A and B are shown apart, each in its own frame.
Chain A
Amino acid sequence: MRTSFTGFRIAVLALAAISTVATTACNKEAPAPAPGAAPAVPAAPAADDKGPIKIGILHSLSGTMAISETSLKDVALMTIEEINAAGGVLGRKLEPVVVDPASNWPLFAEKARDLIQNQKVAVTFGCWTSVSRKSVLPVFEELNGLLFYPVQYEGEESSWNVFYTGAAPNQQAIPAVEYLMGKKGGNAKRWVLLGTDYVYPRTTNKILRYFLHSKGVADDDIMEKYTPFGHSDYQTIVGDIKKFATGKRTAVVSTINGDSNVPFYKELGNQGIKATDIPVVAFSVGEEELRGIDTKPLVGQLAAWNYFESIDNPVNKAFIDKWMAYVKKNNLPGGDKRVTNDPMEATYIGIHMWAQAAEQAHSVNVDSVRQAVGYQHFAGPDGFDITMDAENHHLHKPVYIGEVKADGQFHVVWKTDGPIKAEAWSPYIPDDKGKKADWLYPWACGNCTAAKFGTPSGVSAAK
């Protein structure tokens, strides 16, 4: 009896070991909790069809990016609550799974893997900096996850597994520079491209440099400077800007990210630089970032976004009311000083579009939902009917340029007539010539110069 029992135990162990090895071989990663049940596609298994749908939220709640990303987590939770209150998706409740990658880029990849493999989330909303997105991208592609990325970025990317609800450069950076070149913006002739040292500022500035060349600006009139994350001593740089600005009308394009913006703007104020002399247009400074700054010396400085809290329309008003009510109900830090901003709006739109697509696909399976996200419409708080582009996975967005007011809000001084289509690959970069992001047949590719599925004779189906 004793021997046979031991034998049985050994057999069970061996079986378990084999199945574990098999799973690991399929998964190339940590063993799944239930051996043999690990699906290739991280959609909820059939048995869970009545349970809640897990939604991943991947934003830094600590570290240098917490200043920007914490609110995105909050607004995501609010949106999920809103959808649940309206009956959920496919009759099932959404269940948020919040993780904190702590502004640590490799940790983003680990947390993303954990969300998809262990938590089995149907979709993830997250990332702010491009370096974090680049870090999780291979994970989402390998495990066929689905990421909604809510922040303006440098373009030069289109992934099968990512939907970009923030602006591409032609929806933010290029219009802003064009505005400063114009009479209203002050006829800038000289440009300081100032950024934090990572992929987003460097790529954006590369595109802007080509763009400025195309407008006849010489390299002598462009100054490019980078500072590390969390840099706090801007004395020398602001001094250099002042020196550079003598003689010709100069504008600063700031891609400084995170909390370095506070010492930068403080230094501008201290050294007496006014927005009328040297305007600074920022792409990562919105209402939320201004909350941590004494805004008096900043009045008149610019930001380009696709949404401002000060935009006056009923949809936005409802959005802000909902947000303030949520803040109050949950007693979030900051209380009635909390604001809405562009990436929050993009998160809000993204979650709703995913929910709509899941309803339409009648599934939360990644492959099914992805096909339905393209062409989704949503009445955005930015005042327009916002569409997801099925070709390049980017939103069509309006562009607003605002000046900082003393109360930390923006006064819109320029806007486009309506939403404009994103250009994932910049037409200004010579290397990108002919590159196309088009996930529809026959291209089905995010980075191609010829369609993947050519005509039978082998002729490229390029338009």
Chain B
Amino acid sequence: MRKLHGGEVRYAEWGIGRQVNSRPNNLGHVNGVRLAHWQRRLLTSVMVAVAATALPALAQAGPLEDSLTEAIDGLGAASDDKINESIGKLGALGDPRAIAALDALCDERLRVGTDGHAYVWDSKTRDLRSPLTGQVVNPEPRPLKEVEVSNEIRRVAFPVLAQLKLGSPDAAVRLAAAQELSNGGSAEAPALLRGALAREHDSNVREALTLAIARVDLGSADASARLAALEVIGKSGDDDFLSTLQQIVGQGADGKPNEPDPRVRAAAARARNAVISHQRVVGFVGDLLHGLSLASVLLFAALGLAVTFGLLGVINMAHGEMLMLGAYATYTVQTAMHGSRFNLLVAIPVAFLSTALVGVLLERTIIRHLYKRPLETLLATWGISLGLIQTVRLIFGAQNVSVANPDWLAGGLQIAHGLVLPWTRIAVVGFVIVVAVAVWFILQRTRFGLEVRAVTQNRAMAACIGIPTKRVDALVFGLGSGIAGLGGVALSQLGNVGPELGQSYIIDSFMVVVLGGVGRLAGAVAAALGLGVVNKLLEPLAGAVLGKIAILVFVILFIQRRPQGMFAIKGRVEA
């Protein structure tokens, strides 16, 4: 398993503190400044590559420093062609000090000052920095012009950046670079790749580099090199190669096979089959994992309802709005904390408490008058739901609000090639497990849970032995609402946060609770899992729309056959 990183490169990582002032007099030492080991290695390989291709950028005599500065300033040129040319020059120079400027270019943080030089804008500290030294420039040569880049430029810049980053001390950066190069990046520097492989120790990076080299070798004139490349590709199961492999196995328009060597053809067929079977397994595992993730969302939406509907028997149409309030609580915390990294962790208790409070208030003021009158409860809670939606709309506006994902949840976990599970989804799965266990613990292992179960089973008897049933009712409703609020925190990380957020989950959550068996926590968990996985297995076959319809039909049929749901319980609801 690999971890994907998307962070920006910081100067400190590169250990570049001092200016280098003149051309290198020997490799490894530049005017007495000792370069880091990897920098030396990179420089060596670049020199080899440059010598081999005899690029014009270096053919003209002139200090390395000047051409580097000139090329970096060229990144701020007005025309796209000039920028592309400068990127090419930086690639040829192979100096890792260009990385900061290139990164800034791709992220739109490169600025051109009035002096015509390019600077890097640091969006965190709001400082302007020199692209070479990383030092803050003061005073700033204002007004600054932003360098606008298009995908056309990024497509040129990414492989160059990857080449430069192959020498990074951080294995994750090297891995990302190697993957960029193996994803059909420019194969102009096979020598660089081989050099990087020779000194690479990290197994993941080695694998990615081997694959990148295999891609180059597929086009080699040497049949044995092609055979070796196919071996590597077959082992990797990388489906990026599928169409290339198909082409090697297939025939040209003239009926002649594309690949003259029968041994290579056979190897390509083997590799293709390996890739296809690998792809099939990955696809299935992917569907299961996506189903698990959907199940966690369904369970979050339904867990609170399983408590209020299951234990109190209140058909709470405003349950979805509790989810919505939880999500808005997250938004409010985020706004109040000005994007601090851990606002999500603060949002968890805030969302729980605020929605629980709203729940208790609702129960005390409205719902308690309506027990044993299910139809009126349904109408009243529906009215509450509309009222809550409108209130939120008046406070926050009808527009959706943006809840950002914290940086520690950005990206995802690469489980296999072509299968990435986002950290947000993994976090939601983990969070729902924690919450479900906590709810189970409260209901089964605490005194409060005992009272709740007693009231559920026989209200009159529970009252007789001194359990304050009304307070229990209010607290149960508060607990259910609070759990829904936690669900809102989780949902805010996955989808939209708007006043109608709850509306899209209310049907799903009732479906889960009814299918699982009213009043059973385990039932809700099983139903959510079942619905989630079946939905995701159906989706690739039938499409999102038909899949959803099929699920609904299935649930209706199931409830017809077994009205008590998957797990039955004796309780107030049955009466």
CA distance A26 to B398 in the complex (A): 40
Contact, CB under 8 Å: B545 / A270: no
Tell me how far the C-beta of A247 lies from the nearest C-beta in chain B, rounded to whole angstroms: 3
With CB as the reference atom, state the residue of chain B lying closest to A290: B402
Query: Is B424's beta carbon under 8 Å from chain A?
Result: yes
Contact, CB under 8 Å: B540 / A236: yes
Tell me how far the C-beta of A253 lies from the nearest C-beta in chain B, rounded to whole angstroms: 15
Contact, CB under 8 Å: A225 / B155: no
CA distance A405 to B158 in the complex (A): 17
CA distance A62 to B394 in the complex (A): 11
Contact A227/B545 with A64-B500, A240-B540, A270-B424 known, Cβ cut-off 8 Å: yes
Query: Is B200's beta carbon under 8 Å from chain A?
Result: no
State which of B285-293, B365-373, B555-563 sits at the interface with chain A: B285-293
Query: Is A309's beta carbon under 8 Å from chain B?
Result: no
Query: Is A41's beta carbon under 8 Å from chain B?
Result: no
Query: Is B257's beta carbon under 8 Å from chain A?
Result: no
Tell me how far the C-beta of B137 lies from the nearest C-beta in chain A, rounded to whole angstroms: 21
A293 touches which of B149, B402, B419, B424 (Cβ 8 Å)? B402
With CB as the reference atom, state the residue of chain B lying closest to A242: B418
Contact, CB under 8 Å: B545 / A230: no
Residues of the A chain whose Cβ atoms lie less than 8 Å from the Cβ of B512: none
Query: Is B425's beta carbon under 8 Å from chain A?
Result: yes
Query: Interface digits, B218-249 against A, CB 8 Å rule (1 contact, 0 not)?
Result: 00000000000000000000011111100000
CA distance A266 to B494 in the complex (A): 8
CA distance A243 to B286 in the complex (A): 12
Contact, CB under 8 Å: A411 / B148: yes
Residues of the B chain whose Cβ atoms lie less than 8 Å from the Cβ of A184: 150, 152
Tell me how far the C-beta of B230 lies from the nearest C-beta in chain A, rounded to whole angstroms: 16
Tell me how far the C-beta of A313 lies from the nearest C-beta in chain B, rounded to whole angstroms: 17
Contact, CB under 8 Å: B494 / A232: yes
Contact A232/B150 with A299-B107, A334-B399 known, Cβ cut-off 8 Å: no
Contact A406/B242 with A243-B418, A411-B150 known, Cβ cut-off 8 Å: no
Query: Is B397's beta carbon under 8 Å from chain A?
Result: yes
Residues of the B chain whose Cβ atoms lie less than 8 Å from the Cβ of A64: 500
With CB as the reference atom, state the residue of chain B lying closest to A226: B545
8 Å CB interface, B397-426 against A: 397-402, 404-405, 410-412, 418-420, 422-425
Query: Is B495's beta carbon under 8 Å from chain A?
Result: yes
Contact, CB under 8 Å: A276 / B158: yes
8 Å CB interface, B269-301 against A: 279, 283, 286-287, 290, 293-294, 297
8 Å CB interface, A176-232 against B: 184-186, 197, 225-228, 230-232
Query: Is A314's beta carbon under 8 Å from chain B?
Result: no
Residues of the A chain whose Cβ atoms lie less than 8 Å from the Cβ of B495: 232, 262-263, 266
With CB as the reference atom, state the residue of chain A lying closest to B547: A236
Contact A403/B150 with A272-B412, A299-B107 known, Cβ cut-off 8 Å: yes
Contact, CB under 8 Å: A294 / B498: no
Query: Is B79's beta carbon under 8 Å from chain A?
Result: no
Interface residues on B, range: 35 or more
Tell me how far the C-beta of A249 lies from the nearest C-beta in chain B, rounded to whole angstroms: 9
Tell me how far the C-beta of B88 lies from the nearest C-beta in chain A, rounded to whole angstroms: 17
Contact, CB under 8 Å: A334 / B397: yes
Contact, CB under 8 Å: A62 / B393: yes
Contact, CB under 8 Å: B498 / A66: yes
Query: Is B543's beta carbon under 8 Å from chain A?
Result: yes
A413 touches which of B150, B240, B389, B494 (Cβ 8 Å)? B150
Tell me how far the C-beta of B509 lies from the nearest C-beta in chain A, rounded to whole angstroms: 14
Tell me how far the C-beta of B398 lies from the nearest C-beta in chain A, rounded to whole angstroms: 4
CA distance A403 to B405 in the complex (A): 22
CA distance A63 to B504 in the complex (A): 10
Query: Is A3's beta carbon under 8 Å from chain B?
Result: no
CA distance A230 to B401 in the complex (A): 15
With CB as the reference atom, state the residue of chain B lying closest to A294: B404
A259 touches which of B241, B283, B496, B536 (Cβ 8 Å)? B496
Contact, CB under 8 Å: A61 / B398: yes
Interface residues on A, range: 35 or more
CA distance A138 to B226 in the complex (A): 66
CA distance A200 to B26 in the complex (A): 66
With CB as the reference atom, state the residue of chain B lying closest to A275: B151
8 Å CB interface, A68-83 against B: 70
With CB as the reference atom, state the residue of chain A lying closest to B287: A236
Tell me how far the C-beta of A282 lies from the nearest C-beta in chain B, rounded to whole angstroms: 14
Most-contacted residue by chain A among B401, B410, B544 (CB, 10 A): B544
Contact, CB under 8 Å: B412 / A271: yes
Contact, CB under 8 Å: B401 / A228: no
Contact, CB under 8 Å: B412 / A270: yes
CA distance A231 to B294 in the complex (A): 12
Tell me how far the C-beta of B110 lies from the nearest C-beta in chain A, rounded to whole angstroms: 12
Query: Is B453's beta carbon under 8 Å from chain A?
Result: no
Query: Is A336's beta carbon under 8 Å from chain B?
Result: no
8 Å CB interface, B483-538 against A: 494-496, 498-500, 504, 536
Contact, CB under 8 Å: B420 / A270: yes
Contact, CB under 8 Å: B425 / A247: no
With CB as the reference atom, state the residue of chain B lying closest to A402: B150
Residues of the A chain whose Cβ atoms lie less than 8 Å from the Cβ of B389: 62
With CB as the reference atom, state the residue of chain A lying closest to B398: A66
Most-contacted residue by chain A among B107, B154, B389, B400 (CB, 10 A): B400
Query: Is B57's beta carbon under 8 Å from chain A?
Result: no
Contact, CB under 8 Å: B411 / A239: no
Query: Is A416's beta carbon under 8 Å from chain B?
Result: no
Contact A279/B151 with A228-B545, A246-B240, A271-B422 known, Cβ cut-off 8 Å: yes
Query: Is A415's beta carbon under 8 Å from chain B?
Result: no
CA distance A292 to B398 in the complex (A): 12
B499 touches which of A62, A232, A292 (Cβ 8 Å)? A62
Query: Is B4's beta carbon under 8 Å from chain A?
Result: yes
Query: Is A118's beta carbon under 8 Å from chain B?
Result: no
Contact, CB under 8 Å: A236 / B420: no
8 Å CB interface, B377-405 against A: 389, 393, 396-402, 404-405
Query: Is A174's beta carbon under 8 Å from chain B?
Result: no
CA distance A276 to B240 in the complex (A): 16
Contact, CB under 8 Å: A62 / B398: yes
Query: Interface digits, B134-175 against A, CB 8 Å rule (1 contact, 0 not)?
Result: 000000000000001111101100100000000000000000
Query: Is B108's beta carbon under 8 Å from chain A?
Result: yes
Contact, CB under 8 Å: A270 / B500: no
Query: Is B548's beta carbon under 8 Å from chain A?
Result: yes
Query: Is A374's beta carbon under 8 Å from chain B?
Result: no
Query: Is A444's beta carbon under 8 Å from chain B?
Result: no
CA distance A300 to B412 in the complex (A): 20
Contact, CB under 8 Å: B107 / A239: no
Query: Is B183's beta carbon under 8 Å from chain A?
Result: yes
8 Å CB interface, A331-351 against B: 333-334
With CB as the reference atom, state the residue of chain B lying closest to A295: B402
Query: Interface digits, A345-389 against B, CB 8 Å rule (1 contact, 0 not)?
Result: 000000000000000000000000000000000000000000000
Contact A236/B290 with A63-B500, A270-B411 known, Cβ cut-off 8 Å: yes
A-B contact pairs, 30 of them (CB 8 A): A66-B399, A226-B545, A227-B544, A228-B544, A235-B293, A236-B287, A236-B539, A239-B418, A243-B418, A246-B239, A247-B243, A248-B243, A259-B498, A262-B495, A262-B496, A270-B422, A270-B423, A270-B424, A272-B411, A276-B155, A277-B183, A291-B399, A291-B402, A292-B401, A292-B402, A299-B108, A302-B151, A334-B397, A334-B399, A413-B152
Residues of B within 8 A of A (CB): 4, 6, 107-108, 148-152, 154-155, 158, 183, 239-244, 279, 283, 286-287, 290, 293-294, 297, 389, 393, 396-402, 404-405, 410-412, 418-420, 422-425, 494-496, 498-500, 504, 536, 539-540, 543-545, 548
Residues of A within 8 A of B (CB): 61-64, 66-67, 70, 184-186, 197, 225-228, 230-233, 235-237, 239-240, 242-243, 246-248, 259, 262-263, 266-267, 269-272, 275-277, 279, 291-294, 299-300, 302, 333-334, 403, 405-406, 411, 413
- With A269-B410, A276-B155, A406-B108 given, name 16 new contacts (CB 8 A): A67-B399, A70-B399, A227-B545, A230-B504, A232-B496, A236-B536, A243-B283, A247-B240, A259-B400, A270-B410, A270-B422, A272-B412, A291-B399, A334-B399, A405-B108, A406-B107
